[in-house]
Each structure stands twice: as C-alpha cells, then as structure tokens.
Amino acid sequence: MTRHRMAPADAAWLRMDRPTNLMVVNSVMWFDEVPDPDALRTVLRERLVDRFPRFRQRAVVDHGTWWEDVGHFDLEDHLHPVLLPQPAGREQLEQLMADLVSQPLDRRRPLWDLYVVTPYRGSGCALVFRMHHAIADGIALARVLLSLTDDPGADDVEIAAPAAERGSGLLDIVGGAWHEAIDLALHPLHALSTARAVLADASALAKLLLIPADRHTALHGTTGTDKAVVWSDPIPLSQVKEVGHQTGATVNDLLLTAVAGALRTHLVRRRSPVHDIRAIVPFNLRPLDKPLPAELGNKFGLVYLSLPLTVERRQDRLAEMSRRMNAIKHSAEGLVAYAILELVGMAPESVENLAIELFAAKGTGVMTNVPGPRRTVTLAGVPLRGTIGWVPTSGDIGLGVAIFSYAGEVTIGLCVDCGLVPDARELLGDIATELEALLTDAPVGPR
C-alpha cells in the first residue's frame, strides 16, 4: 500500500497519546432537524474523505511513522448512530461527550469517528466528531468542518493540492531562526541586520525552556480517565463587543478575564492556595488567507499566558489581562514552540515523553478561542444551531477551556478531569457570573 512519511510535528502528537489524556480533538454540532442520512453521507464523502486524504489513511509505525492508504475504505466504519436516554437534552449530550473523551480511536483504521445522535432536543440531531491531533490542529479542523457546510459564501476555505513530498517551509524558517539564535550566542559579531530578529527568537526560546513549573493549586495532580464535559448557553457577542469597545479590551480579553475570575472563585471554594496560573494557548501559524493544504497537519505553536487570579477587582483584572495578552501577541514564542515540537517529533520516544512532561508542567490548563461564521450556515440542507470543540490536554493537565463564536453568539465549554476539577458545572456557572458582572459593571466611555 502507498505510504507517505508523517511530518515530525504530527508524529509527535501521535506518540503523545496516554490513557488518561488522549490526543483527540472532540467537537459537537447540534441542529433543530435531522439531516437526511444519504445527504449527510454524500457531504462526508465528497467534502471530507475525497478532499482530505488523511481521512482515508491510517497511521503506521514501521521503521518510521507513516500515513498509509487504506484499501477498500468504507465510510460506514466511521459512522456510529447513537440513541440517548430520553428526553435527550444538553446534559445527556454532555455525558455522551464525557464518555467518549477517554475512548481511544481504532489505530487499525483512519483516526476519526462521527457519532450521529438522534433524536436530540425533540426532533433535532447532534453530530459528535472525533479526530486525532496527528491529522490536524484545532484551527485546521474548524476550517475543515466549516468546509462541509452548504453555503458557498460562508467560508473562505480553499484546498491546495496534496504535497506529500514537500518539505515544511515553516520548519525551515523557524528551525533556521532557532539555529541562528544559538549561533549568535557563539558568534556575537554576526551582521546586525539579523540581530534583532534572532535575539527575539532567542529570548522566546529562553523563556520557553527556563520557565519553571506552574504554581501548585487544587487544579494540579494526576489525571485519570473520568472526564466531565459541559458548555454554556449562547452569549450575545454584540454585548461583549460593546463592553470591549467601552473598556479598550478585546472580546478575548473579556472572556479570559471571566475565566480567570471563575478559577479564582473555584480555588477559594476548594480552600486551595490562589496563585496566578498559566494557560497554554495554541497560537495559529497557518495563514488564514491561504488555501488549506489537502494533507492538513499541525501548524501552530503554543504560548503561556499567566492568568491574573491574584488581582482581586474585576476591572483591574481585565486591565491586567489586556496588558499580558498584548505582551505576547507579537512575540516569537509561538514560532519557537512549533520548532521545538518538530524537533521533539524527530527524537526518540523517551526524549519526547520527557519533553512533553516538562512543557505540560509549566501550565495548568489549555484554552482556545476559535471564531466561526458570522451568520447561520447549513449542513446537508439543515441549519447549524451551535457548535463547540476541545483540543486535547497533554501530560497531567486536567483543565480544557473552549470558546467558540458563531452567528452572533459565543459559547464557552469545559472539558475537565473529574479528579482535578470535581465541580465542572459549578465552575461553568462561575464563568457566567463573572462575565455577567464584567458586562454589567463596565465603565462608561473608553479607557
């Protein structure tokens, strides 16, 4: 069978699986109607399997790590009908998601599954999509799912031709910058024209390598296989934007400030020490105005964002969050982290495991914010009412926060380890309370 060598960063994610934290991206979409089964299969076949080869290839470890074409690929192997206990509402769907999070994908087949949940909320339907991180990062997956929709103007996703033998230009650039940074330390008289860029990369590299393990709180510990998944009611995005305009903060600043305030309340309730804790934030490195490559893959870095839990007043916390976000937005940390991940993917598994544990210990949670379509889209002719998804957490990280905006609304979701976060629904309520307070108490006029 035809094989294509797996990119180092993708191989790193494949080998990162552990029973208590699987490297699987989990997402859910819900509808008020049930799509026609034949129409849904046609969409999946034409817009997913035929367009993106990884969805018909399996991962093989054999003197290297490969994508191998599956002979006689059968779409039905990846479609799983699910009947939830009635009446099937959000809580029942959340429990299904929680049960699936710790179920490994079948390595004998392409690394993805789709669960078709009917009925949901009366006459509706939900689609639970699971895909291994080795196939693609969360931003790419969001674009893939968007490309399944019927609306020709709803997405700007273009698909480039497969490039199985093409080298990673980004790795060449980032890896080169990293080596230049090291070389600069040995030969400080290099041309000044490159010094500033190299020093920025070297500073980011030093920060990533030298940053200590995160402070100990009740959110730290050893993860298990028991998970909880919950998400909020939709929040009007216009209100968040208006308060952001008044305060000079971004939507992301406001939402993350609400998360930080809720985590502070959570730790106080559990009589835990309250420290500023670090969130690991995926940093997209793939140009959003360029075609999405058919082979997908991972093109993102990671940055560490210190959440200001020790700042007591909400408005002060918001101002500090904005300051910290601005400080990392234009740094080289994301690029350097991606280069490190590529190099880790080329290392022996024992070295990779050590590196993952070291980097995971530097953070307490993983937080993502994905912007979706601004208007309602349809899938197989049925309007999509809402969606949200979570990227995996590595090492012993037990807190995942997802923020997804769609059609003028934003949804916040948690995917947590029950041993480390035993009250996920209460924590979600704390986030809603904090956000409502921020939106209500915003000062009049810009800062």
Query: 141 to each of 138, 174, 429, 436, how far by Cα in Å?
Result: 5, 23, 28, 30
| Residue 361 DSSP SS3 | coil
pLDDT of residue 301: 73
CA angle at 416 for the pair 414 and 421, rounded to the nearest 5°? 110
Query: Domain residue spans in the chain?
Result: 3-156, 213-440
Confidence of residue 173 (pLDDT cuts 50, 70, 90): very low
Residue range 8-35: mean pLDDT, rounded: 92
SS3 397: coil
Cα–Cα distance measured from residue 347 to residue 356, given in angstroms and rounded to the nearest whole number: 12
Mean pLDDT over 29-44 rounds to: 96
Residue partners of 419: CB distance under 8 A and separation at least 6: 221, 222, 223, 224, 226, 398
185: pLDDT strictly greater than 90: no
Structure letter (DSSP) for residue 250: -
Return the number of other C-beta atoms located less than 10 Å from residue 332's C-beta.
25
Q: Which helix (H) or strand (E) element contains residue 198?
A: helix 195-210
Comparing 43-57, 93-107, 185-199, 333-347, which segment has the lowest mean pLDDT? Answer: 185-199
Q: What is 3-156's CATH number?
A: 3.30.559.10
Least confident of 111-125, 169-183, 321-335, 385-399: 169-183
pLDDT band at 339 (very low <50, low <70, confident <90, very high): low
Cα–Cα distance between 79 and 58 in angstroms, integer? Answer: 16
pLDDT band at 157 (very low <50, low <70, confident <90, very high): very low
Query: What are the distances in angstroms from CA 77 to CA 108, 110, 136, 165?
Result: 11, 10, 20, 29
* Alpha carbon separation from 317 to 142, 273, 304 (Å, rounded): 30, 18, 17
Calpha distance 195→60 (Å, rounded): 42
Residue 189 has pLDDT above 60, yes or no: no
Strand partners, 373: none
Q: Regarding predicted confidence, which is higher, 191 or 368?
A: 368
Summarize the confidence of residues 377-400 as an average pLDDT. 93
For residue 119, say if its preceding peptide bond is cis, omega within 30 degrees of 0.
Answer: yes
11-15, 89-93, 96-100, 160-164: lowest mean pLDDT where? 160-164
Tell me how far apart the alpha carbons of residues 389 and 415 are, in angstroms, rounded to a whole number.
Answer: 9
CB 158 within 8 A of CB 292: yes
Is pLDDT larger for residue 360 or for residue 19?
19
pLDDT one-digit tens code per residue, 69-101 = 998 999 999 999 999 888 889 999 999 999 999
pLDDT above 70 coverage of the chain, percent: 78
| CA–CA gap between residue 137 and residue 116 (Å, rounded) | 23
Residue ranges with strand state E in 191-311: 227-231, 235-236, 277-284, 292-293, 300-307
Amino acid 155: pLDDT = 44
Percent share of the chain, pLDDT over 90: 57
Asked if residue 227 has pLDDT above 50, the reply is: yes
pLDDT score, position 442? 64
Q: Return the amino acid letter for 5.
A: R
For the domain spanning 213-440, the CATH number is 3.30.559.30
Give the pLDDT of residue 241: 93
Mean residue pLDDT across the chain: 82
Handedness of CA 336, 341, 346, 349 (dihedral sign): positive
What's the whole-number mean pLDDT along residues 306-333?
87
Q: What is the C-alpha to C-alpha distance for residues 258 and 264, in angstroms, rounded to an integer?
A: 10
pLDDT at 321: 95
Question: What angle is formed at CA 243 by the lines to CA 27 and CA 300, rounded to 5 degrees?
Answer: 35
CA gap 262, 254 in Å, rounded: 12
* CA distances for 215 relative to 219, 220, 307, angstroms: 10, 9, 12
60 forms bridges with which residues in the sheet? 66
Q: Residue 346: pLDDT band by 50, 70, 90 thresholds? A: low
Whose CA is closest to 44, among 154, 127, 151?
127
